[in-house]
Amino acid sequence: MKKINLLLILFTIIFQGCDNNDCGACFTPPQSFEFEIIDKTSGENLFTNGAFDSNEITITDNLNNNEPVEFSFISENNINLIQIGSIGWKTEIVNLKIDISDNHIFSFYVDTERKMGDCCSYNQYNEISVTDSEFELDSQTGIYKILE
């Protein structure tokens, strides 16, 4: 009887350890996109110098009936960045229109696929583009500097 109980316990432990659905805590959230609006002549942040007011920012998705898009404005330590963190939680294409005070500033297009591999979900960005404005991408910080 002891052999049967020992074998039963051993098989139980082995099969519990072989759960193919147990991926652990492996999850890679999508990157957030950050934008700094700066004066292309002076290099000054246009929110910091008072030219723009963060309360007048509107972001809409042109591909989804101009639905408003959630964003954050980071003003801590006078950094003054627009942050969009809602892109990439699912496979999607977005074409965002960013306006400040009813003035079109730029458009932002993202084609992303949410994928699963080696038990972890991640994003594959097929295309990312900024249009309707000059910009620079800081490769170290990942911040898009929109030149106005």
pLDDT tens digit sequence for 86-99: 998 899 999 999 99
Specify the pLDDT at position 114: 87
Q: Which amino acid is at 25?
A: A
pLDDT in tens, 121-147: 888 999 999 999 999 999 999 999 999
CA distance 111 to 93: 4
Average pLDDT, the chain: 85
pLDDT in tens, 37-65: 999 999 999 999 999 999 999 999 999 89
CA atoms within 13 A on the CB side of 127: 10
Contacts of residue 130, Cβ cutoff 8 Å, sequence gap at least 6: 106, 107, 108, 109, 144, 146
Q: Which residue has the higher pLDDT, 106 or 17?
A: 106
CA atoms within 13 A on the CB side of 134: 6
Nearest CA to 146 out of 30, 51, 31 is that of 51
